[in-house]
Structure 1
């Protein structure tokens, strides 16, 4: 998976934007999203600033795509030279926020310059199927979802899957947006987060990224808002470079043995239970450790993390994650739970997958 970032230079100096780009290129970003929709095309100084920023990004080997629509094309006078004008502006591709007339789109897509035309995946997928059936060159097409600044307007998960799957089935590169929590700058005054999926709006950016990685539907993930902190970027890089991760909270009185089990490199057994996800190697590695029984409620909720205690004999030290609500015996300890923002990601941990549990700190015990 490639990562990208978004730039909104309008209210910021070229120096500020240059410093931000230089900082982000210390990380393995591969592409840049620019929105031209809000531009005043009569502002020559602003247009020159955009071109300077695009040139800088290209010099850093970043793939730059700009968002346009019919109205902007007319304002720029690019109607009859969309590809050559886009290339002259310094771009690698143009994202059509709204479709052009279909024959015109096919002609633009079939350009000989390998200039990419990015379609809006969030709209109905019949357009892509029509273009391909009528001779559009698949190798010049890429796809990218919208982001949604207004709360409750982001994509539903079923619509996201349906529209994206059409692009995946046709082996066309897909992209979607995540919203950084340390950044708030976007293209419009309204910004209640800038996610593609509505259920991502209040998630940590790391959880949003994990879901896209574990789905295998999105090729490029773009941070939609601007001026992301180095701390948040470092967290995102950890997600990008690791096996499947689940952020967890734990009891505040973990034993040393329980902490070792939680920190283990886990593997989901491939003989599936409907009640628990099992990681059994911990009972082999830590079979000589002490796992005393805990006096606690044994009512288990989905996402709870369980470790079998000394009373379970050969099973002691085995880790499980609850897949449904049920009740365990006194031979099993409840030692933690998946954070609510990461709980939906449990569905993406499949048999034979490697995964890790990341503790957020020593949390206070709660009544289960």
Structure 2
């Protein structure tokens, strides 16, 4: 599942509603907010949460409200259908059990241990209503270790909990530090699609955008991967405009027999043959990682084969370099496996 964050200090205006609508259309199912961020003014918390709840209902989104025991007094008296609480400090096993009978809950995954779990079982908590959520970490160098997260998630799965973690946004990073809100430190400045893929491999069920904004480009990239396991790659340095018009925005497939050094586009020789791309040999160059290449007429029956280079390869006069995957997307190449789907997008359109 995919989720995103909205913070109570931000206005619930037409811009916010448009963002909620776009996120819902791109497959996001959950909205996270917090009622106990120290720097926030709590005088309007209850009314703001009511407004936020109405907006999430309009776009069929689940609302999860982060709260500690002291901040519960700022919440509306009734927790509405379709919403739940992410519990932080101050809740006893008895409190958790009572709340779990009626509403969805999320417990702090980092502090949920065997002792607490056994106490919850003794209190007959409704585990079907309870998940385990990791924190985000605004201060650089304090995010979690990936190996530790995987180990923790696997243990949580073994006792029946679904898990969650955060990745940063790519616009309007939240203050006061403005350095991203990831769960994993290694993902603070990493490609967000790569971060999502990594968290899924680390046994994470739900991924939430921690920062308050996500670009439309990344919305579509995450949507395409979640729906079809299709990876979006941005290109630059086209050899000419004909290349851009032929290879961008068309769904491509890696061959089922995965090559070590390159991604080989299935059926590309016929695609290039039927296109306006020139396969006359041009000046050869070193093929750096992310180089998009086409075999030229000197390669005989391989003429027209389209490839993406995964590791640095030497110059080859039989191979034309026609474009380049942008640096930030290179980490996605190894995620394109057997018969893996992907498509190219012009970097200028993203900018």
> CA, structure 1 residues 284+59, in 2 after alignment: closer, same or farther (shift >3 Å)?
closer
- Deviation digits for residues 215-244 of structure 1 (CA, Å, limit 9, x no counterpart): 585444333233x37xx2364135414652
Which residue number corresponds to residue 84 of structure 2? 93
The DSSP-based 3-state class of the residue aligned with 1:350 is coil
- 2:223 corresponds in structure 1 to 240
The alpha carbon displacement at 1:283 in A equals 0.5
Does residue 344 (structure 1) correspond to residue 331 (structure 2)? The answer is: yes
Q: Report the equivalent of 2:3.
A: 3
For 1:253 and 1:40, locate their aligned partners in 2 and report how far apart those are by CA, in whole Å.
51
Q: In the aligned structure 2, how far is the partner of 1:357 from the partner of 1:294?
A: 23
Counterpart position of 2:133: 144
2:94 to 86, 104, 115: 104
Provide the TM-score with structure 2 as the length reference: 0.78
The answer on whether the counterparts of 2:284 and 2:319 sit within 8 Å (CA) in structure 1 is: no
User: Any conservation in 1 of the 2:8–2:48 contact (CA below 8 Å)?
Assistant: no
Residue 254 of structure 1 and its aligned partner are, at CA, apart by 2.9
Please state how far the C-alpha of 1:68 moved relative to its aligned partner. Answer: 2.2
* Residue number in structure 1 paired with 2:169: 180
Q: Following TM superposition, by how much is the alpha carbon of 1:87 offset from its aligned partner in structure 2, in angstroms? A: 6.7
Correspondence for 1:161 = 150
Deviation larger for 304-313 or 216-225: 216-225
Q: CA deviation at 1:303?
A: 2.9
Q: Among 252, 256, 266, which residue is 2:252 paired with?
A: 266
Gaps of 5+ in 2: none
Deviations 1:151-200 (A, max 9, x none): 222233333333334455666444333333332345xx333222223333
The aligned runs of 1:123-138 (5 Å cut-off) are: 136-138=125-127
Q: CA RMSD in A?
A: 3.7
Aligned residues: 337
1:25 maps onto 2:20 in alignment: yes
Q: Which SS does the other structure have where 1:177 is aligned?
A: strand
Equivalent-residue separation in structure 2 for 1:249 and 1:260 (angstroms): 13
Q: Is 1:277 paired with 2:263?
A: yes
Distance in 1 (alpha carbons) for counterparts of 2:56 and 2:180: 28
Deviations 1:84-135 (A, max 9, x none): x88725472211235845x4366246x432x111023355765787578766
CA, structure 1 residues 30+353, in 2 after alignment: closer, same or farther (shift >3 Å)?
same
User: 1:35 aligns to what?
Assistant: 34
Partner of 1:296: 284
- 2:44 is matched with 46
Task: Provide TM-score, normalisation by structure 1.
Answer: 0.75
SS at match of 1:66: strand
Q: Aligned partners of 1:357 and 1:216: how far apart in 2?
A: 27
Aligned counterpart, 1:365: none
Contact 1:278–1:321 (8 Å) recurs in 2: yes
Instruction: Please list every run of 5 or more consecutive structure 1 residues that lacks an aligned counterpart in the other structure.
Output: 78-84, 363-368
Query: Is the CA contact 2:3–2:32 (under 8 Å) kept in the aligned structure 1?
Result: no
Distance (Å, rounded) in 2 between the aligned partners of 1:120 and 1:193: 20
Q: Which residue of 2 aligns with 1:311?
A: 298
Match of 1:332 among 292, 295, 319: 319
Contact conserved, 2:224 with 2:231, CA < 8 A, in 1? no
Match of 1:343, SS? helix
Change (3 A) 1:37 1:294: same
Query: Residue 292 and residue 58 in structure 1: after superposition, are their counterparts in 2 closer, same or farther (change >3 A)?
Result: closer
Q: How many angstroms does 1:41 deviate by?
A: 11
| C-alpha deviation, 1:30, in angstroms | 2.9
